[in-house]
Each structure stands twice: as structure tokens, then as C-alpha cells.
Amino acid sequence: MRQENAALAIAQDHGLPDIVARVLAGRGVLSADAPRFLDPTLRELLPDPMTLTDMGAAADRLAKAVSDGESVAIFGDYDVDGAASSAILARFLRHYGIEARIYIPDRIFEGYGPNPDAMRELAATANLIVTVDCGTNSAEAIAAARGAGADVVVLDHHQVGGALPADTLVVNPNREDDLSGQGHLCAAGVVFLALVETVRRLRGRPDLPAPPDLLKLLDILALATVCDVVPLVGVNRAFVVKGLIAMRAMNNPGLAALARSARIGEPLGTFHLSFLLGPRINAGGRIGDAALGARLLATDDEAEAQQIAETLERLNAERQAMELKMVEEAKAEADAELLSGTGPAILVSASDAWHPGLVGLIASRLKDHTRRPVFAVAFNANGVGTGSGRSITGFDLGRLVRSAVESGLLVKGGGHAMAAGITVERARLGELRGYFEEQAASQVFALRDQESLMIDAALSAGGATIDLIDTLERAGPYGAGHAAPLMVLPRHTLADARLVGANHIRAELRSETGDRLAAIAFRAADAELGRFLMDRRGQQIHVAGTLAINHWNGNRTVQLRIVDAAPA
């Protein structure tokens, strides 16, 4: 009743359609906040960068590098957020005539984050090293850089494990002594705020060019915000809303080339960023040259951008083929382990044959398959495993990993609530599994017992119209922390269901009045949902999913992306 009253207030106060009001109320938006939520602006939502610990001194150091024309190196991570953070900073410095060197570590041979050898190499030619999307937990490597004569600034967002690097400026809203309340930012968001503060210090300098228009960097920032799966709340909503507008103008040669390679022939949205552009940028870091993504986003050379995009397209196809085989192996192992009962609360799957660059994808697929937190670990010939974990909503995986590091069970590890990385010795794997079970079982199984789908509305096939989707988009964009509206279509006949692509099920639903609606269940063919759909052809079922517009040959049609189904 409380949400119904809140929805009524939103609809009446702001003249919004009932279904939009219900979506907002269901996500805790109050009537007074609705206008700002529907039209998020940086003017209103951008936090004061100075509320972040160490920000003033970090901006001073960046401004000094610009003023003095210093040599600068950027050490980034090999995922989309790291590539975007590196590119944003590199583009900013290029505006002032500084061609910063971007260094992205090799995922297999160097692993995540700064290492002493790489930092000493950068320090040999750079006065200042800026680590982006990493560095908070790299005290030894940063000490090596400082010992070699370079200053270091850390711009990061990862949870802190252990002591911060000594005598180093660390801007990270997830520091324990940071009271900014901006812990939901991705690393690229932290970099953007640092540049906002740096521009304040450089504005009005007659000896320097006028500051760059930072709003032109929002397309890269939106990509990082969506792909790093940070909550679309606060300023993150403004980053994505305004960034998508900038991205659709295709002014970034790298993003334009990547969209062409991915054959995207429709206006870009969060779906394209998450499932088409992001995986292609990640492909370089997983099985190719880890620096390709950062170079793509940073370049202004259209020919170079097209060449890199084509390389990433090829690597992504190779990655998909490798992933399919590894996921099949992992699922078979998991199914065997779960066959005798509920199985472990946290599944730890390992292999000597897996590519370490793909363990995150394996963990993600296994998490969806088993509905529990999962780690996938690839062991090398020396018995050291590189692992990646993915969590379920409500369970903080990063905290569990930090406690395992402190207990001596991991060589190293860290991450976020929903994702984490680990390095583990084969001899400690059994102990690690036992520790995870001891620490997490009660909470994980309680979360699974409470698991449910929160439905926004019920409708029939005939009510699923383009006008309805356009109306719902007024409450978007949707993503982490602001899920797309979930619709249920009760008692519809499953008129058709067939396998398409590698692992998808295409379906057609028919209402009792004869209206039809196209639907698709992604990556469901070998899952319980896919088997259910294939077995229920011609029968009445209840279906839950999200509505989307399918663009094909210049036409716009409605499609339901199926999330779940049940017998009618």
C-alpha cells in the first residue's frame, strides 16, 4: 500500500503515466526526487571533488605536471574501466601537449595491478605515474617507483586490503577515512572528478591553453560506468544519460569503429555497452594485447581506431569459442558436485586447462547456472592459480576475499562486493574451500531462500507496444542498482520455441485474444529455463521478462527478453 500511495503521488504531482510512477516508486524514488531522477544533470548531481580524501593534493600534483610539461605515465587495469580511465586521463593530458605513456599489465604474466618491475621501468622515463583502477593495494610496487625517483598518484575505487601505500596520494572513495559517500563510482568516475578539480586549478592561466571540455569525455565514462556494473544512482545516472547522448554522436573514433565492427545499427543503449562493446574491449585483456582497449579509446586516428577495432572483433570471436568449451566443462563439474544435495555455498571450480583470461567469464556463467557465488581458477604449471569470483546480490565477495588474504590462504586478492580476483596456491585450495564454507554458508543460503522476482506490472502480448517501451524509457537508463522493469505475461500460449545462435532460445507468445509477441531467452539453451521452454511448446505458461525494441532492416518491433517462466 505504501508503494501504491507513493506511485499515485508521483503520477499526480508530475503528470507521469501510471506505469512510470510505479517503476519509480518500486525503486524507492520519492515524489520530490522524481524530476531530478528522470532528468539527471551534472550541474545538480556532480559532487564536489574536494570531498574525496587526498583530492586537493592529487589535483595540485596533476596541475603541476601540466604546468611544467612533465613526462607522465598511466598504469591502468586490463578491463573496460581501466581502459576507459586510462583513455580519459591520456586525452586530458594530450590537450596540454603531454603524450602520456599508457601501461596495461599482461593479465597472465603480470596479473592485476602495479608490480615493482613495471613501475621501476616507468619511473625511468616519467616524473609522475598515475595508477587508475588499481594501486590502492600495491604498496610494494609504488614504493619501488618512488625509490626510482617518480611521484605516484593513485586514482582508484577498489576496496582497501591492508595498509595504503606510504607517502602516496590515494584518491579512493572506498578508503576507510573517506567520507565523501561516493563509493558507488567506478574508477573512471574518480578520474573524471580528479580532472574537474585539476581544471579548477588550471583555469585562467595565460601560459596554458584554455581547459578542455570535459563533457566530451562522458561517452567513455558512460561505457566504464555501465561495464563495471556500478549502481546507476546519484551522479552515475547523469554520467550514463549524458554519456549515451555523446556516444550516439560518434565523435570518439574508437567507439565509432567498435560499433561498426559489432554491426550495431541502432541507437546505442546500456544493453549495447554491456553485451557488445564492453566484451570486445575486454577481449584484448583476456586473450590478446591488454593495452588495445585503452589505445582504442584514446586515439584520434580513425585508421588506427578501425585497425584496433577489427583486431578486437577477431579476438572476441576467439574468446567466445574458447569460453564456450570452458563453460561446458565447468558446468559439467558443477552439476556433478551439486548432484548429491545442495552443494557448497560458494562454488570453487578449478582447472589446469583453462585460460586465465577467461576465468571471470566462467565464474559469471557458473554463478547464473548454480545461483550462488562462484570462483573459477586457472592453475599454471607451477601450481599457482589465477582466479576470479562473481557474487549474488547481497553477499560481499570482496570482504570475504580480504579476510582470506589476512588468514594467509591466498597469495593475494581483492575486489568489490560483486566481483573479486584471487591468486591461490594449489596446496591451499582445499583449505580455501573450507574457509569459504565456514564464513559464508549461512548468509548465502539465507539469501538464496529469500530469492524472488520483483514484478513491476502484468500485461498481455497486445499491451506490449513500442509506445509502452518509449514511456518506460523515461525512467531509464536501467542497469545495476536500477533494474529494468520486469513484466509478467500470465497464461500465454508458447506458440513456438527454437534454438538460435549458439545458445539462445527464440520464442513466440500468444495471448488468449490472439495477439502475438516475439521473445528471446539469452544463453538459456542448456539451462533449466531453456529446457522448460523447449518442452512446453503449445502449452500455456506464465512468462516474466523485460521489454525491448528490436531494430531490424529499419523496422522497430517489440521483443520480450525472457528472465523466467512457469507452468500456467
Tell me whether strands 374-379 and 384-390 are parallel, antiparallel or unpaired: antiparallel
d(Cα 391, Cα 368) in Å, to the nearest integer?
10
Residues 6 or more apart whose Cβ sits within 8 Å of residue 35: 14
Q: Where are the alpha helices (DSSP H) in 415-524?
A: 429-449, 466-472
* CATH class as words, domain 454-567: mainly beta
d(Cα 29, Cα 237) in Å, to the nearest integer?
13
Domain 342-449 matches domain 454-567 at the CATH topology level: no
d(Cα 363, Cα 390) in Å, to the nearest integer?
6
| H or E stretch at 315 | helix 302-338
Helices 253-261 and 278-287 cross at an angle (nearest 10°) of 90
**Distance between the two ends of the chain, CA-based, in angstroms?**
27
User: 56: how many CB neighbours lie within 10 A of its CB?
Assistant: 15
Predicted local distance difference test score (pLDDT) of residue 229? 87
Residue 373, sorted as left (phi over 0), alpha (psi -120 to 50) or beta, turns out to be beta
Helices 187-202 and 55-68 cross at an angle (nearest 10°) of 60
User: 351: how many CB neighbours lie within 10 A of its CB?
Assistant: 17
Which of 129, 112, 2, 7 minimizes the C-alpha distance to 62? 129
How deeply is 5 buried, as exposed, middle or buried, from its count of CB atoms within 10 A (0-12, 13-18, 19+)? Answer: exposed
Is residue 65 a contact partner of residue 127, using CB atoms and an 8 Å limit? yes
Predicted local distance difference test score (pLDDT) of residue 375? 97
* CATH class as words, domain 46-314: alpha beta
Q: Classify 450 as helix, strand or coil.
A: coil
User: Which parts of the chain have pLDDT scores under 70?
Assistant: 1
Domain edges within the chain: 1-35, 46-314, 342-449, 454-567
Give the tens place of pLDDT for each residue, 165-211: 999 999 999 999 999 999 999 999 999 999 999 999 999 899 999 99
**Rounded alpha-carbon distances, angstroms, from residue 534 to 246, 496, 514, 526, 530:** 42, 9, 21, 11, 6
Query: For residue 436, which phi and psi values (nearest 5 degrees)?
Result: -60, -45
b/e per residue 210-241 (b: at least 16 CB within 10 A) = ebbebeebbbbbbbbbbbbbbebbbbbbbbbb
Query: For residue 135, which phi and psi values (nearest 5 degrees)?
Result: 110, -25
d(Cα 26, Cα 325) in Å, to the nearest integer?
40
pTM of the model: 0.88
* CATH class as words, domain 342-449: alpha beta
Predicted local distance difference test score (pLDDT) of residue 1? 63
d(Cα 403, Cα 346) in Å, to the nearest integer?
15
What are the residues facing 379 on neighbouring strands? Answer: 385
Sheet of 72-75, strands arranged across: 101-103, 72-75, 128-132, 151-155, 169-171
Predicted local distance difference test score (pLDDT) of residue 451? 80
Q: Classify 379 as helix, strand or coil.
A: strand
d(Cα 25, Cα 33) in Å, to the nearest integer?
11
User: 554: how many CB neighbours lie within 10 A of its CB?
Assistant: 7
d(Cα 333, Cα 370) in Å, to the nearest integer?
11
Our CA angle for 224, 521, 229, nearest 5°, is 15
Is residue 390 a contact partner of residue 418, using CB atoms and an 8 Å limit? yes
